[in-house]
Amino acid sequence: MRPSLRELLTAIAYEANRTVGGGLVSIELLRRRFTASGWIDSAVHGVFIAVSRFTPGTVVLAYVVMLGWRFHRWRGALPALAAASIPGSLIVLALAATLAEIDRYAAVRALLAVGILVAGVLVVGSAWHLIRPYLEKSEGPPEGGHYVSSRMRVLVVGAIAVALVLLGATPVRVLLAAAVVSMAMPARGTPEGVPYVEK
């Protein structure tokens, strides 16, 4: 299924601009909307996450650019970028221009804290959606053991990533290390079986 340009931009403008807590929350909301509509699946989402993590700047903006590009090429990518970034930027600008001391009132601070709490839970939940497909794959290593099962990959790469995070490595270094380690463990499956290559 493929959304029209209008459907795409409406979804992005709504989901990317309806919560505090940053772009990772918006990505989770976008994932829910786009997978529920059948426009992308979890494999495509996973690749988009991987690429957006390696793209400089704001992660959610790279994510929406890829959403727009996937369905409408430049005609979708550029408006998607605008839809995700303009509303928030206008509010930032308005607050900066008026020098509003938005944290002066306890009620505002409480509302923000609750919003960020919900955002934190959503972000942790989105991690589960990324990992789950790997845990659900049932295939194990073939005879001879040349290939690594998905669960083993999660275990090894996940452990290394956790260790690097605890050692204070930057996110980019964590991702690079994960890519190198995982590359040393060939994936099972045929090229035709790769579900997220765009035809």
Partner 1 sequence: MNALPIYLLLLKATMTSFAGMGSLPQIRQDFVETHQAISDEQLSQAVLVGRATIGPMGAYVVAVGYFAGGWPGAIAGWLAMITPALVAIPVLTLVQRWLHLRRIRAAVDGVIIASAVLLVGSGAVLTIDAIQQLIRLKS
Residues 124-163 that bind partner 1 (CB under 8 A): 124-128, 130-131, 134, 150, 153-154, 157-158, 160-162
DSSP 115-158: HHHHHHHHHHHHHHHHHHHHHH----PPTT--S--HHHHHHHHH
Helix spans in 37-192 (H): 42-53, 59-98, 106-136, 150-166, 171-183
Task: Say whether residue 64 binds partner 1 (CB under 8 A).
Answer: yes
> Strand, coil or helix: what is 114?
helix
Candidate ranges 1-9, 13-21, 32-40; the one touching partner 1 (CB under 8 A): 13-21
Task: Say whether residue 57 binds partner 1 (CB under 8 A).
Answer: yes
Task: Say whether residue 56 binds partner 1 (CB under 8 A).
Answer: yes
Alpha-carbon span 126 to 28, nearest angstrom:
6
Candidate ranges 1-9, 30-38, 164-172; the one touching partner 1 (CB under 8 A): 164-172
Task: Say whether residue 95 binds partner 1 (CB under 8 A).
Answer: yes
Residues in 169-198 that interact with partner 1 by CB under 8 A:
170-172, 174-175, 177-187, 189, 191, 194, 196-198
Helix 59-98 crosses helix 23-36 at what angle (to 10 degrees)? 130
Task: Say whether residue 10 binds partner 1 (CB under 8 A).
Answer: no
Residue from 1, 6, 36, 99 in contact with partner 1 (CB under 8 A): 99
